[in-house]
Amino acid sequence: MKIKKVLALGLVALMSVATFAGCGDGGKDSAGADGKGKVYYLNFKPEADEAWQEIAKQYTDETGVEVTVITAASGTYEETLQSEIAKDEAPTLFQVNGPVGLANWKDYCYDLKDSSLYNELTSDSFALYDGDAVAGIAYVIESYGIIVNTELLDKAGYSLDDIKGFDDLKKVAEDITARKDELGFAAFTSAGMDGSSDWRFKTHLANLPIYFEYQDKGIDSTDAIEGKYLDNYKNIWDLYINNATCAPGDLAGKTGDDAENEFASGEAVFYQNGSWEYKNLTDKGMTDEQLAMMPIYIGAGDEANQGLCTGTENYWCVNSEASEEDIQATIDFLTWMVTSDAGTKMLADNIGVIPFKKAADTTNLFVLNDRKYTEDGKTPVSWNFTTMPSEEWKNGVGSALTAYAAGTGEWDDVVKAFVDGWASEYAAANN
């Protein structure tokens, strides 16, 4: 009898162990085998995942330090970070998108002030401060504007020099729309409001009215936006939706891929997007001769001297909760990334311009466009959308824009979401 009991208990124990074996993956040593520490990077940019995996492997081969790169699926970075950082094996390196994003994570940001990484920055303005502490380091400078298919523009009988402001853009776009059937292409790609594409308008395009208002008032953030340039926002939005490849009512279901494919296959002349799109377009067979990026003119400010929208919303942060060795390993890895030939080349080719002293030169045409505009004395439009009060605010503006485009909503709803939404979201985020 006793043997039976022991046997039964033994079996139960075995079964339990078998049941939980699957969950037991976390039992690895928390420090590297030889006390070197290790790096776990939670990457934000899905388009650069492959490049990160390769460079991580190369670093491990060279130094023996283990580097793990995990990429969050598009649009789920915050959620992924949320659950990853609570784990025993938390990311040692993550990113925030600016001051608003930092508010959520500042308790987890290691002060990088004395780090070798901070010293590599070309300018202090690329660091993200939390009081005096350096909470984040910008690792890429990007530009966005209206990408132009110059070949098609030429076919329509215009050149880039003909477009010097909003009125010119409107004239050209409307002329192309009038001759759409004859030309065989439209002025703008679809301004899709699907989640994969709506950030181009509710965030990036919305940056322009905010930028000009900030400029007028001489401020760089606000608790209540006035909406002084919302009429300009309406004008450019009207231009986008009424001169596109599809009817305004269909925009609600159009994706980012739709717009990209339309542009790459020559169905439209203009495509609002950024320098990160260069690789996708050239991969799809477009050449430098066909491409150029021009500023987004909305008929505000000094259009003759307006450049591309240039800035960053990508800041590296090192997890302060990680062990000493892991923090050091992470900083070493990043320093290597921005100083070594292999690292800087990977960043230049796959990410874009990096604000570090030893940056490799880039072949990204849109970045070169931006450089040219700046050399010609034009003022880049700064990225003020990092001061938007919350994601919820962006979503509210996005929904209102979609409804307005489809005719189920009024422009007043957009204004309400923009102005009233800003005040209430700012209050909610800062109470």
What is the smallest separation between the CB atom of 191 and other proteins, expressed in angstroms? Answer: 14
Q: Is there a contact between 348 and 361 (Cβ–Cβ < 8 Å)? A: yes
Pick the binder of other proteins from 70, 406, 419, 423 (CB under 8 A).
Answer: 406
Q: Is 243 in the site for other proteins (CB under 8 A)?
A: no
Task: Tell whether residue 105 is a contact of other proteins (CB under 8 A).
Answer: yes
User: Which of residues 2, 3, 20, 35 is near other proteins by CB under 8 A?
Assistant: 20
Q: How far apart are CA 171 and CA 145, in angstroms?
A: 18
Bridge-based pairing state of the strands 67-71 and 39-43: parallel
Nearer to other proteins, 97 or 215 (CB): 97
Under rule CB under 8 A, residue 403 binds other proteins = yes
191 binds other proteins per the rule CB under 8 A: no
> Does residue 10 belong to the site contacting other proteins (CB under 8 A)?
no
- According to DSSP, the β-strands at 268-274 and 186-188 are parallel
**DSSP, res 382:** P
| 67-71 vs 133-138, strand pairing mode | unpaired
Among 47, 54, 66, 78, binds other proteins (CB under 8 A): 78
Q: Which residue has the tokens 């789920």?
A: 76
Site string for other proteins, 26-45 (x = CB under 8 A): --------------------
Q: Give the residue, chosen from 6, 57, 62, 82, that forms a contact with other proteins under the rule CB under 8 A.
A: 82
Question: How would you write 203-261 as a 3-class SS string?
Answer: HHHCHHHHHHHHHHHCCCCCCCCCCCCHHHHHHHHHHHHHCECCCHHHHHHCCHHHHHH
Q: Which of 170, 230, 184 is nearest to 205 (CA)?
A: 230
Q: Is 427 in the site for other proteins (CB under 8 A)?
A: no
Nearest alpha-carbon partner for 273 in 285, 258, 252, 251: 258
Q: Whose Cβ is closer to other proteins: residue 99's or residue 301's?
A: 99
Tell me: does residue 400 bind other proteins (CB under 8 A). Answer: yes
Which residue from 159, 287, 305, 408 is in contact with other proteins, where contact means CB under 8 A? 408
Question: The tokens of 19 are what?
Answer: 């049941």
Q: How far apart are CA 308 and CA 299, in angstroms?
A: 14
Q: Which one of 7-15, 276-284, 285-293, 368-376 is the stretch in contact with other proteins (CB under 8 A)?
A: 7-15
Cβ 404 to other proteins shortest distance, Å = 10
The DSSP H or E segment spanning 387 is none
Of 85, 342, 419, 423, the one binding other proteins by CB under 8 A: 85
Which residues does residue 293 pair with via DSSP β-bridges, in sequence order? 147
Under rule CB under 8 A, residue 138 binds other proteins: no
SS3 state at 44: coil
Distance in Å, CB of 16 to other proteins, minimum:
5
- Which letter, b or e, does each residue of 249-263 get, where b requires 16 or more Cβ atoms within 10 Å of its Cβ? ebbbebbbebbbebb
* Buried-state track 184-193, b at ≥16 Cβ within 10 A, e below 16: ebbbbbbbbb
Helix (H/G/I), strand (E/B), else coil: 340: coil
Q: Is 107 in the site for other proteins (CB under 8 A)?
A: yes
Nearest distance in Å: CB 250, other proteins: 6
Q: With respect to other proteins, which residue has the nearer C-beta, 236 or 414?
A: 414
Rounded to the nearest 5 percent, the helix, strand and coil shares of the chain are: 55, 15, 30
For other proteins, the binding residues in 244-273 under the rule CB under 8 A are: 249-250, 252-253
Nearer to other proteins, 73 or 304 (CB): 73
By CB under 8 A, is residue 349 in contact with other proteins? no
Asked whether position 70 contacts other proteins by CB under 8 A, the answer is: no
- With binding defined as CB under 8 A, does residue 19 bind other proteins? yes
Residues making contact with other proteins (CB under 8 A): 8-9, 12, 15-16, 19-20, 78-79, 82, 85-86, 100-101, 103-105, 107-108, 193-195, 249-250, 252-253, 321, 390-392, 395-396, 399-400, 402-403, 406-409, 429, 431
